[in-house]
Structure 1
């Protein structure tokens, strides 16, 4: 019903009274005063998060590096070359006549 129609029917109605009439009508609605039915919000079920088991990290054993022993280089002994003694050739004394040797 429009406002002017009511005015014709009952004479002057204050705006508050008119509003009250609207609310009274509305309250009788199955929605309880709301023109539109409120959609019920579905509650989302919270998914339980599975706790991930933390894998224990195996500690790697550090391999001890074996220190390499430095091999001492053996000094090669230089073989002294034996000097061959030169045999002095003995000059043979020439025997005989006409020997002019020492």
Structure 2
């Protein structure tokens, strides 16, 4: 059978910089991506690319969302020991949230 699980890749970067966050699928497991939730609290401008190996899952312009979720009916299967990467390039920081 299958077991539900989740993973968080948190990436923070500064203006003009690129940074990556990763998640490695454990040995003996297959990670099925059905949902991705992204957050851009400051409204930064730039690009987010989510991939594994040579396969690009999606590329999203940061300025098009603050909080957004994406869903796939058929899971994207990530094999054991593969690494999911979230790469963020910040072109221009937004205004920090207050409160």
TM-score by length of 2: 0.15
Structure 1 or 2, whichever has the larger Rg, is 1
Q: Which has the higher contact order (CA 8 A, sep 6+)?
A: 2
TM score, norm. by length of structure 1? 0.14
More helix by share: 1
